[in-house]
Amino acid sequence: MSVAISATLAANEALDHRRRMGLPVLPLAFGEAGLPVLPSLERQLGTAAGRGAYGPVAGSPDLRTAAAGYWHRRGLPADPDLIVAGPGSKPLLYGLLLAIGGGVVVPRPSWVSYAAQTRLMGAEPIFVETPPGEGGVPDPDALRAAVTLERAAGRPVSCLVVTLPDNPTGTLARPETVRRMCEAARELDLIIIADQIYRDLLFDQHTDFPCPTRYAPERTVITTALSKNLALGGWRIGVALLPEALSGLRDRLAGVASEIWSSTSGPTQQAAAYAFAEPPEVVERVAASRRLHETVARAMAERFTAAGARVPRPQGGFYLYPDFEDLREPLGVDTSAELAALLLDRYGVGVLPGSAFGDAPEALRLRVATSLLYGETDEQRLTALTSPDPAGLPWIAAALDRTSEVFTDLTASSCEERVAVTA
Amino acid sequence: MSVAISATLAANEALDHRRRMGLPVLPLAFGEAGLPVLPSLERQLGTAAGRGAYGPVAGSPDLRTAAAGYWHRRGLPADPDLIVAGPGSKPLLYGLLLAIGGGVVVPRPSWVSYAAQTRLMGAEPIFVETPPGEGGVPDPDALRAAVTLERAAGRPVSCLVVTLPDNPTGTLARPETVRRMCEAARELDLIIIADQIYRDLLFDQHTDFPCPTRYAPERTVITTALSKNLALGGWRIGVALLPEALSGLRDRLAGVASEIWSSTSGPTQQAAAYAFAEPPEVVERVAASRRLHETVARAMAERFTAAGARVPRPQGGFYLYPDFEDLREPLGVDTSAELAALLLDRYGVGVLPGSAFGDAPEALRLRVATSLLYGETDEQRLTALTSPDPAGLPWIAAALDRTSEVFTDLTASSCEERVAVTA
């Protein structure tokens, strides 16, 4: 099991234990959207329950047509025949890596599963640093250098994975960076897999979204899903869009899909086709979710900043990636894993260490997910979704205050301890 | 894409084309149960549609407890903590092969995906012949010889996959064979993966079912699903039961699952928990399906026998595996692939060649699935399900008669052609 998943499970277990003891907890580890299913989508799934037949490996024509429409509305010509559905975008990513074969470049830091899936294939991921302040995309010059080095050592490199907007940093790479990354990918003949699962949760939807298809349409594969924008992670549905120039890869991906998962749940596909068609209530729900994520992520970012951390301004999704370097001395820890463990053991604050995302162990960065603060019941969560001031709701305000308290106490107590030790 | 899946797709396409031309077709290629979803299960899925959260990687406690009960009722002590759910038993099989690592023994012939999944891992499957008349289990002596040979050549062998009852042959290995196979597996220290997806469709449920757990409980992993007994292939839900002695493998499987598919659809898990609890209407539906499969498979076996093929007596599922060796001359073909192509091109009969299941190309065996003959509408299928004489229903009788006609014509015309050629 990967470091990150073990860490998440350990955090969840420790939090459950503290809850049972009546101790305070702050669940900031797990990347779940934390919102109820939209009622019209519930009804759609119920209506589709009679679909018991296997259906096409690549997904039903309805779903693929709806997903093509979804991409069309985002300025991307998409051919339903070049779309492949899967039980989540995670299996699609794995299927793509397997179908492409060869070495995989992943940004440092990046979502835990890119590296873990690469290792499942028996390879070591090639980590390349992201430019300062921009997550999800490798620095173009560093990409060139790393791939050249690998190839010089006789190791094939065939693709890179990018995340727009990014998990864990909550940021979006600049168009200029994406353009230069795409140029490097073309020079190096790398396929670009662009994970855009957080795209609809980019806070400013008027931002110039730097889709790699703009610069390297011939080599860009896009994956997305309904897990984040519509909080349907548990339904397990994702789609991949391949370029015409890679229709052979589309067939290989379908081949891998047929041998690993056969087809995607028929009822879920039918409900997903409805969602990808974006009727008004779906658009509205995504917009409300985006506002809520933005408000709470920004409010939490302020608390971390006030506590002395440097926090890249969150631009999408529901993650923060604060850096505690300036607090290294008062905190008295050497690694992000130690910091995460300290927060969990002493305060019941569940976060993930940056090292789980491939970051250097000694970098004091943490991934903080703010989406499980919206409430413990669906009623609270729906209230948060429609509130003009969600950060002011008692249960969310309490979580924000608790965060400030914890860091005040942590830096103070760590100082005292150190004084005691060194006195 | 595997040979078998390509062949199935090609057959489907050719059949669709003939249908559009108004020509007769016989869809006997695809292994789908061909029955509607039970209404109470449809309702359960609708009720569970609100489950949008990811949930545990190994499956919800409800589902794992229900699956444990299912196995308990079949005489198998099952610990919910040793059960792992997945989006179908196919991904669970792949996950197991990946988590175990090393060489895989598969029976010859056997379900297409065992070999294909092994190849996806970059290994060649080790095919071992099944004993005459018994499908799904390698001959124990041949197993010893093959594994010894592999290991002598420095290739590690770690597990074997068996199918009880079997696809493609529709037969069940004898208890004595399974006992000897288990002894060999223990001597060779091989993990046994027992795919029992057709177990509930064993026609005689009073048969002494030779589960490998009886002889080698410490090394047997069982997989099953609702795709065949309840015709829910399109829902994508499966479960694996691991022995206590392999709890480390359970954790590795969960690790692989977490990186490839995260978790299994929450709504589907909830509906599956209801099904695995086997309320009366579920038991009744499975029993009715079993009777229908038996009646039609046996009626079709008689037609093949009358046409001059040797057909192992079907014991479960909805497959026949006729051998046309005695008709080699009149048929005028050299391989099973040629025979399948001839049937498809000339008569619109879609079947799969035995070679797709790893059988010798020159062996004239075909896999015939009878389950898509129950009707073209749900109304016809439900009529078939409750009919005291389904083989006498006009649409099923017509398919049976058409089979007889085709072989009469085929052997006659092939003779004539040959006479014409050699005259």
B169 contact partners, CB below 8 Å, separation of at least 6: B109, B130, B135, B136, B312, B319, B321
Instruction: Indicate if the pLDDT at residue A418 is higher than 60.
Output: no
Neighbour-count burial for A215-228, b at 16+ CB within 10 Å, e otherwise: bbeebbbbbbbbbb
For residue A216, the surrounding DSSP H or E stretch is none
Instruction: Indicate if the pLDDT at residue B418 is higher than 90.
Output: no
Contact: B260, A117; criterion CB under 8 Å: yes
Contact: B36, A42; criterion CB under 8 Å: no
d(CA A308, CA A81) in angstroms, rounded, equals 51
Find the CB nearest B42 among A36, A49, A98: A49
Q: How confident is the model at residue A421 (pLDDT cuts 50, 70, 90)?
A: very low
Compute the mean pLDDT over every residue in chain A, rounded to the nearest whole number.
95
B291-300 pLDDT, tens digit each = 999 999 999 9
User: Which chain A residues contact residue B256 at CB under 8 A?
Assistant: 120
CA proximity to A133, closest of A313, A379, A325, A380: A313
What pLDDT is recorded for position B336?
Answer: 98
Q: How confident is the model at residue A10 (pLDDT cuts 50, 70, 90)?
A: confident
Say yes or no: domain A39-278 is CATH 3.40.640.10. Answer: yes
Query: B122 to chain A: nearest residue by CA?
Result: A121
ipTM score over 0.85, yes or no: yes
Please compute, for residue B224, the number of CA atoms within 13 A of its CA located in the half-sphere on the CB side.
Answer: 25
What pLDDT is recorded for position B328?
Answer: 95
Contact: B235, A41; criterion CB under 8 Å: no
What pLDDT is recorded for position A12?
Answer: 82
Asked if A213 reaches chain B (Cβ–Cβ under 8 Å), the answer is no
Asked if B88 reaches chain A (Cβ–Cβ under 8 Å), the answer is yes
What average pLDDT does range B189-203 have in this prediction?
98
Contact: A2, B259; criterion CB under 8 Å: yes
Please compute, for residue A360, the number of CA atoms within 13 A of its CA located in the half-sphere on the CB side.
Answer: 9
Give percent above pLDDT 70 in chain A.
Answer: 96
Instruction: Indicate if the pLDDT at residue A423 is higher than 90.
Output: no
User: Which chain A residues contact residue B231 at CB under 8 A?
Assistant: 52
What average pLDDT does range A53-73 have in this prediction?
97
Residue A67, both tokens:
């997903």
What pLDDT is recorded for position B19?
Answer: 87
Asked which of A127-131, A401-405, B31-35, B171-175 is least confident by mean pLDDT, the reply is: B31-35
User: Which chain A residues contact residue B236 at CB under 8 A?
Assistant: 87, 261-265
Give me the amino acid identity at A376: E
Separation in Å, CA of B36 to nearest CA in chain A = 7
DSSP H helices, A73-111, are 89-100
Q: How confident is the model at residue B17 (pLDDT cuts 50, 70, 90)?
A: confident
Residues 42-61, chain A: which have Cβ within 8 Å of B? Answer: 42-43, 45-47, 49-55, 57
User: Which chain B residues contact residue A1 at CB under 8 A?
Assistant: 251-252, 254-255, 258
CA proximity to B119, closest of A304, A258, A119, A337: A258
CB B19 within 8 A of CB B358: no
Instruction: Indicate if the pLDDT at residue B226 is higher than 50.
Output: yes
User: Which of B113, B265, B379, B381 is best to mutate for the A interface (most A CBs within 10 A)?
Assistant: B265
Tokens 């009852």 belong to residue: B165
**Do A3-30+281-422 and A39-278 fold alike per CATH?**
no
Asked if A98 reaches chain B (Cβ–Cβ under 8 Å), the answer is yes
Name the DSSP class of B99: H
What average pLDDT does range B78-93 have in this prediction?
98
CB A78 within 8 A of CB A67: yes
Query: A251 to chain B: nearest residue by CA?
Result: B1
Asked if A374 reaches chain B (Cβ–Cβ under 8 Å), the answer is no
What pLDDT is recorded for position B422?
Answer: 46
Please state which of the four CATH numbers 3.10.129.10, 3.40.50.2300, 3.90.1150.10, 3.40.1350.10 is assigned to the domain occupying A3-30+281-422: 3.90.1150.10
Q: How confident is the model at residue A414 (pLDDT cuts 50, 70, 90)?
A: low
What pLDDT is recorded for position B4?
Answer: 65
Say yes or no: domain B50-278 is CATH 3.40.640.10. Answer: yes
Backbone phi, psi, residue B57, to 5°: -55, -45
Contact: B49, A41; criterion CB under 8 Å: yes
What average pLDDT does range B360-375 have in this prediction?
97
What pLDDT is recorded for position A417?
Answer: 60
In Å, what is the CA distance from A38 to each residue of A282, A285, A352, B265? 8, 7, 29, 16
Q: How confident is the model at residue B421 (pLDDT cuts 50, 70, 90)?
A: very low
A334-391 pLDDT, tens digit each = 999 999 999 999 999 999 999 999 999 999 999 999 999 999 999 999 999 999 999 9
d(CA A346, CA A411) in angstroms, rounded, equals 13
Find the CB nearest A88 among B234, B252, B261: B261
Coil vs helix vs strand at A274: helix
**How many CB atoms are located within 10 Å of the residue A71 CB?**
21
What average pLDDT does range B240-259 have in this prediction?
97
Domains of chain A: which residue ranges? 3-30+281-422, 39-278
Coil vs helix vs strand at A27: strand
B312-365 pLDDT, tens digit each = 999 999 999 999 999 999 999 999 999 999 999 999 999 999 999 999 999 999
Q: How confident is the model at residue A422 (pLDDT cuts 50, 70, 90)?
A: very low
Asked if A205 reaches chain B (Cβ–Cβ under 8 Å), the answer is no
User: Which chain A residues contact residue B258 at CB under 8 A?
Assistant: 1-2, 5
